[in-house]
Amino acid sequence: MMMRLLCMLAGLWLSAAAWARLPEGCTQAVVGMTEGWNSPHAKVYLVEKDRSGKWQRVLGPVSARLGRNGTVWGLGLHTNPAGAVTKKEGDGRTPAGIFRIGGLWTTTGTPVKHHRRLPEVRVDARDLWVSDPKTPHLYNRYVRLDHPAASAWELREQMKQNDYAHSIKLQICHNAPDTPGRPVPGAGSSIFFHIWRDGGKYPTAGCTAMGEQNLRAIIARLNPDRKPVYIMLPREAYARYRTEWRLP
| 33 pLDDT above the threshold of 90 | yes
What is the share, in percent, of the chain residues with pLDDT greater than 70? Answer: 93
Assigned architecture for domain 28-245? Beta Barrel (2.40)
pLDDT, residue 17, reads 67
Total residue count of the chain as it appears in this document: 248
Residue 224 per-residue DSSP state: G
CA of residue 213 relative to chain centroid, distance: 19
pLDDT, residue 18, reads 80
Average pLDDT, the chain: 93
pLDDT in tens, 111-138: 999 999 999 999 999 999 999 999 999 9
In angstroms, the CA 208 to CA 115 distance is: 21
pLDDT, residue 232, reads 98
In angstroms, the CA 171 to CA 190 distance is: 8
Average pLDDT for 146-172: 98
pLDDT, residue 60, reads 93
pLDDT band at 7 (very low <50, low <70, confident <90, very high): very low
Output the CA–CA distances (angstroms, integers) from residue 55 to 26, 145, 175, 185, 225, in the order listed.
11, 42, 27, 36, 17
| 229 pLDDT above the threshold of 70 | yes
CA of residue 201 relative to chain centroid, distance: 21
pLDDT, residue 140, reads 98
pLDDT in tens, 184-227: 999 999 999 999 999 999 999 999 999 999 999 999 999 999 99
In angstroms, the CA 30 to CA 19 distance is: 19
pLDDT band at 20 (very low <50, low <70, confident <90, very high): confident
* DSSP class per residue in 130-150: ---TT-TTTTT-EEE-SS---
Nearest in space to 99 (alpha carbons), one of 225, 229, 237: 229
What is the share, in percent, of the chain residues with pLDDT greater than 90? Answer: 90
CA angle, 177 as apex, 173 and 179 as ends, to 5°? 85
pLDDT, residue 14, reads 39
Any idea where the domains of the chain sit in the sequence? 28-245
| 10 pLDDT above the threshold of 60 | no
